[in-house]
Amino acid sequence: MQFSSTVIMIILMAANVDGKIYERCELAKKLEKAGLNNYKGYSIGDWLCMAHYESGFDTSFVDHNPDGSSEYGIFQLNSAWWCDNGITPTKNLCHMDCNDLLNRHILDDIICVKQVVSSKNGMNAWDSWSRHCFDHDLSEWLKGCDMKVKPNLEKIIHNANS
Ligand SMILES: [Ca+2]
């Protein structure tokens, strides 16, 4: 009986995460509204591409690293740097509980990634961005989203000159 009540408790806790798999355009609008378009020079396409390769837009996604740290949520933020999971020794630079990165409300996640991308490495903080998104044509990510995002002028000028 002890065992089964523990199992039930774990199931209930998992259900309590209240995560969400975002639809691409819905996420695009949310990111733009929160001020991420052209934030530190990165477009909404950069953020969509990164989040797709990191989590598949699933806010409840958790990944465990060989070094013992874990990565949380739609942007896969690391428990040794950005949040506190009560296990990993952490700098907790975003001053938040890692579990708050797993629910459907992503405004706190966005405030944290603004801090991540403000460091000198920018979006290279995410390997998947460096590998799959950097220097790629990211216009496809906003296709069909009916958004009037300001284009990244620097990139357009760069492309026109190359
Ligand atoms: Ca959250």
Query: How much distance in Å is there from the Cα of 144 to the middle of ligand 1?
Result: 26
Total count of domains within the chain: 1
Arithmetic mean of pLDDT, 46-73: 98
Residues 29-48 as b or e (16 or more Cβ within 10 Å = b): bebbebebbbbeebbbbbbb
Does residue 11 fall inside a structural domain? no
Q: What is the pTM of this model?
A: 0.83
Q: Counting Cβ atoms within 10 Å, is residue 149 exposed (0-12), middle (13-18) or buried (19+)?
A: middle
Query: How much distance in Å is there from the Cα of 155 to the middle of ligand 1?
Result: 31
Does residue 5 fall inside a structural domain? no
Does residue 14 fall inside a structural domain? no
Question: Which residue in this structure is represented by tokens 């799959």?
Answer: 132
For residue 128, what are the domain limits?
Answer: 19-161
| CB distance 73 to 17 below 8 Å | no
Does residue 151 fall inside a structural domain? yes
- pLDDT tens for residues 2-18? 556 666 555 555 556 79
- pLDDT tens for residues 105-151? 999 999 999 999 999 999 999 999 999 999 999 999 999 998 876 55
CATH of the domain at 88: 1.10.530.10
Query: How much distance in Å is there from the Cα of 160 to the middle of ligand 1?
Result: 39
Taking 70 as the threshold, does the pLDDT of residue 21 lie above it?
A: yes
What residues are labeled active site? 54
d(CA 141, CA 65): 28
Does residue 80 fall inside a structural domain? yes
